[in-house]
Amino acid sequence: MAKKVKKPWPTKDAMTQIYDIKLWGGNNFDFYSGEGSHNPEIISPYLEQVTLFLKSFDEPITVCDLGCGDFNIGKHLVPYTKQYIAVDIVEKLIDRNKERYTAPNLEFHCLDISKDKLPSADCIILRQVLQHLSNTEIQEIIKKIATYKYIILTEHIPINDFIPNKDIISGQGIRIKQNSGVNILEAPFNLKIKEEKTLDEMFLEDSKGRITTILYRLF
């Protein structure tokens, strides 16, 4: 009898389990999106640069945060937007965020960003989200975000040169273990942009890579 091949969990189930078993740490938290969302050395310069970008407009813009997590970062950006739409795939997390964070210009949605229709906005924030997803899912997301004017993308990538976009199973680690990382401008994604600017780059200790935030203007 042929051995059954264990199928990977759907992304929603995988991400829900990550929070349930606290795979990203935070034993004293109900939900914890990892050190990349809580370490002041990582998030402070990021918030400074993204806030400067949002404040650069004469009129506030609408932002859609795809993969908002525990909202420890997004909560600081809401005041600088016309509307802040926060999205995550984990239903219990979105329910918790709705109870904890309220503002006239803030709303939360539980969506699978690779499958569901995304809200309209001027700017997309994707902070350390794509790195957890398979290339197939990323390709579906790229098709959708190509219609937004601005993308603020944060990814955990190797320190030195690397082979971009090696495939993984969604929810099972990130590509850095394969000396790879997500680059949405390279194959198989090949997103077309007009302009890019590095907003922030943090080198992690013990050669664990770097967290890079790039602003893309698409049109």
Using one digit for the tens of pLDDT, what is the confidence trace for 181-193?
Answer: 999 999 999 999 9
Cα gap 16→13, rounded to integer Å: 5
Amino acid at 196: E
CB atoms within 10 A of CB 187: 9
Question: Taking 70 as the threshold, does the pLDDT of residue 1 lie above it?
Answer: no
CATH superfamily of 38-217: Vaccinia Virus protein VP39 (3.40.50.150)
Helical (H) or strand (E) element with 161 = none
Using one digit for the tens of pLDDT, what is the confidence trace for 121-131?
Answer: 999 999 999 99
In terms of Cβ atoms closer than 10 Å to its own Cβ (0-12, 13-18, 19+), residue 168 is buried
- CA dist 31 to 90, 101, 156, 159, Å? 11, 14, 21, 29
